[in-house]
Amino acid sequence: MSTIRTMLSRLGIMPRLMIGFLAISLLPCVVLLFMTTRLSTESLQKSLRDQLQAVSAAKSLELNNFIRERQGNLAILSQIASTQTAVQQLIRARDDGDAETVEDVNRRARPGLVLFGETYGYDDVYLFDPAGRLLFRLKSDLDLGENLLAGPLRDSELAEVFRRCIILLQGEVSDFQEYPGLDEPALFMAQPVLKDGVLIGVVALRVGNSEVYRGFRDYNGLGETGEAVAGMLKGREITYVSPLRHDPDDSIDRRVQEGEARASAMQRAVRGDHGYGRMIDYRGVPAVCAWSYLPAFRWGLNVKQDEAEAFALINRQRWAVASLLGVTSLLVAAVAWSMARSI
């Protein structure tokens, strides 16, 4: 402090007056600009957080409603008399080796099941007996073999959802998985077919990906770089299962190992965590993200936006404040110089 006083005492009257004018004039301006910038920055950051969390909540609700509607459709299909009758007749005919009856039952059941699949957006409909024997299918693009639990797909997600269904006697949803013969990963739903409380079969549906992906391709409220993405956990590996806005050609590796620096928000989401913060996304790009968990799908959900776009308004505001402070300093210095010279 004494050093500053010594330096000031050596200055002439004009420099000291200028310094005094600058201090008196600029200090309140600097304090006011600092407080204004801080409050507006916090407001913009809160607005961004609220926006991403609102989009995340909307996507979660949309996907949960989607799966509940499909489970309701499947439950109805399993309970109607025509489905139960078809399962019972197909089991008896196959047990008796009666190929003619099998063909006749298939022919009569097909129109109704085709209409059901087309109406509600299912790619295929399957009927099984409780042991996993395939009784009916609409398409032959997936090689199930004679028995799902003993055929080429015995270790698949479809087989796993079948097992859970007959053990728990309730509707179940599989994880996404790639299957030989299909162009895209598939998701299956299974529902027990009960007759007088006794399990007589299982009906399964292959859900059309276009229906699931529709919400992920809606970028309203997410700007030019924002997107909603979903991932599922298998072991210690996370796989992105939704369309990626920044990778329409599937050229980016969709798999992330737990513990990697990138996709930290997805690593938390697939473990059931909910939150908001800054992260490195699957491309290695800094982003802000709201993350949550979708129990119906067992997916993690990220709604994110690149930091460069998310904070663009805040950065422009900081530059405007800095410019204003610079111009104000020059004006005050000019006025102080003029007044000091006139004294």
Interval 74-90: pLDDT, tens: 999 999 999 999 999 99
Strands of the 237-240 sheet, one edge to the other: 255-257, 237-240, 227-234, 299-306, 286-294, 275-280
Give pLDDT, residue 325.
Answer: 66
- Model confidence at 47, pLDDT cuts 50, 70, 90, reads confident
> CA 177 to CA 184: how far, in whole Å?
9
> How far apart are alpha carbons 6 and 169 in whole angstroms?
89
User: Given a cut of 60, is residue 53 above it in pLDDT?
Assistant: yes
Q: What's the pLDDT band for 37 if we cut at 50, 70, 90?
A: low
8 A C-beta contact, residue 193 and residue 199: yes
Angle, helices 81-96 vs 99-120, to 10°: value is 150
Helix (H, G, I), strand (E, B) or coil at 133: strand
Higher pLDDT, 277 or 336: 277
pLDDT at 266 over 80: yes
Please name the residues in contact with 197: beta carbons below 8 A apart, sequence gap of 6 or more: none
Q: What is the pLDDT of residue 194?
A: 95
The top-scoring range by mean pLDDT among 13-17, 191-195, 231-235 is: 191-195
Span between the terminal Cα atoms of the chain, in Å: 28
Closest CA to 213 of 253, 176, 249, 172: 176
pLDDT attached to residue 259 = 87
Which tens digits make up the pLDDT trace of 100-159? 999 999 999 999 999 998 888 889 999 999 999 999 999 988 899 999 999 999 999 999
Residue 232 pairs in a beta bridge with 239, 299
pLDDT bucket at 336, cuts 50 / 70 / 90: low
What pLDDT is attached to residue 322? Answer: 67
Average pLDDT over residues 229-243: 90
Global pTM value: 0.75
40 or 10: which carries more pLDDT confidence?
40
Answer whether residue 60 shows pLDDT above 60.
yes
Residue of 129, 139, 138, 132 whose CA lies nearest to 155: 132
Q: Is residue 126 within 8 Å of 191, Cβ to Cβ?
A: no
Query: In this model, does residue 1 exceed pLDDT 60?
Result: no
Q: Residue 186 — very low, low, confident or very high, per pLDDT cuts 50/70/90?
A: confident
